[in-house]
Amino acid sequence: MTTVAATTIKARQRPGDRIFSSATLIAGSLILAVLAAVAIFLLVESLPAFVADPAEFSGDTTNFWSYVGPLIFGTIYAAILALIMAVPVAIGIALFISHFAPRRLAQGLGYLIDLLAAVPSVVFGLWGIGVLAPLVQPFYTNLVDWFGWFAPFAGPVSGTGRTIFTVAIVLAVMILPIITAICREIFLQTPLLHEEAALALGATRWEMIRMAVLPFGLPGIISASMLGLGRALGETMAVAMVLSPSREVIFQLLTSQNSNTIASNIALNFPEANGVGVNILLATGLMLFVVTLIVNMLARAIINSRKAFSGAN
């Protein structure tokens, strides 16, 4: 592998150069090795789960796939609900910072949103259960009373507000900063000439944004949403603290029975797990790793392909 670095250095080779360049090369390759190690060790440790005795699974599930199925459903359901709430708001914030706010304030306002990303997830969990859930519970009662005929809002309503809908709100707040940050970067890269041309033709600011900024930023918005999706899929503590979980596939948003997510299920059960139970939880973790890896790779591939022909860099 050292030949890669050696061929690129045209100057006379000194010992210091050789040591330094191979040190950097090793560090770089180590990162790839770590990623591979994560996959390999998780796989090795989860193998016993796939052939586990049916008695090892709690509840009425008899094999690994029927155990992990509802968890995968819950993970994706909560993440997509969060995404639906977060993306429009994030686009709005990004537009506000990049095109509406006064130039002097824009950077400071960006920091303010970034602060939201700095709040630890346990604090979001405490806030979700201590502040948000009691706050939204009366609305849930009204929703079930008025729109109970609509399947997702069917009753009986949760008395505590600890539903998958509350979880989705908390997750939406948590993924707002990353979606906003990427959208903001992309919107700022819009060629100035496109914007000025639109304005010169008499477009209002919103028309300029719709004609110049949004079409240019669309791939960026898509990949930012997918990165946000990746975050929401893997978020653990906020879900573990807020959700009142069950083991089934449940579409209702506002009842006290909710499908748990993979990450939260691991966090809740890992401290007490033993024997094959540990391997089963590790195997669900492997599933989560694979899902988020695919989502993230797709998102990054879209961003990178955009970089090539945007001409902005």
Contact set for another protein, span 168-207 (CB under 8 A): 173, 176, 180, 204-207
Q: What's 217's DSSP letter?
A: H
- Nearer to another protein (CB atom), residue 5 or residue 154: 5
The interface mask with another protein, positions 72-101, x = CB under 8 A, is ----------------xx-xxx-xxx--xx
- Nearer to another protein (CB atom), residue 37 or residue 193: 37
Q: Least distance (Å) from another protein to the CB of residue 15?
A: 10
**Packing angle between helix 276-310 and helix 262-269, nearest 10 degrees?**
140
Judged by CB under 8 A, the residue of 130, 134, 138, 152 near another protein is 130
Structure tokens at 144: 């079930």
Q: Least distance (Å) from another protein to the CB of residue 60?
A: 26
Q: What's 55's DSSP letter?
A: G
Asked whether the bond before 156 is cis by omega within 30 degrees of 0, the reply is yes
Residue 234 found at the interface with another protein (CB under 8 A) = yes
Q: How many angstroms separate the first and last alpha carbons of the chain? A: 30
Contact set for another protein, span 134-153 (CB under 8 A): none
Are 86 and 224 in contact by the 8 Å Cβ rule? The answer is no
Site size with another protein, rule: CB under 8 A: 98
Closest CA relative to residue 190, chosen from 215, 222, 224, 213: 213
- Nearer to another protein (CB atom), residue 73 or residue 96: 96
Closest CA relative to residue 233, chosen from 304, 161, 284, 180: 284
Contact set for another protein, span 259-278 (CB under 8 A): 263, 266-267, 270-271, 274-275, 278
Structure tokens at 109: 């306002």
- Nearer to another protein (CB atom), residue 132 or residue 252: 132
Q: What's 212's DSSP letter?
A: I
Query: Which position has the token pair 């303010």?
Result: 112
- Nearer to another protein (CB atom), residue 187 or residue 252: 187
Half-sphere exposure of 95 (CA within 13 A, CB side): 18
Residue 17 found at the interface with another protein (CB under 8 A) = yes
Q: Least distance (Å) from another protein to the CB of residue 24?
A: 4
Q: Which regions of the chain does DSSP assign to beta strands (E)?
A: 245-246, 258-259
- Nearer to another protein (CB atom), residue 194 or residue 300: 300
Residue 51 found at the interface with another protein (CB under 8 A) = no
Judged by CB under 8 A, the residue of 76, 80, 106, 126 near another protein is 126
Piece of 66-74, 111-119, 156-164, 214-222 that binds another protein (CB under 8 A): 111-119
Closest CA relative to residue 242, chosen from 272, 273, 270, 263: 263
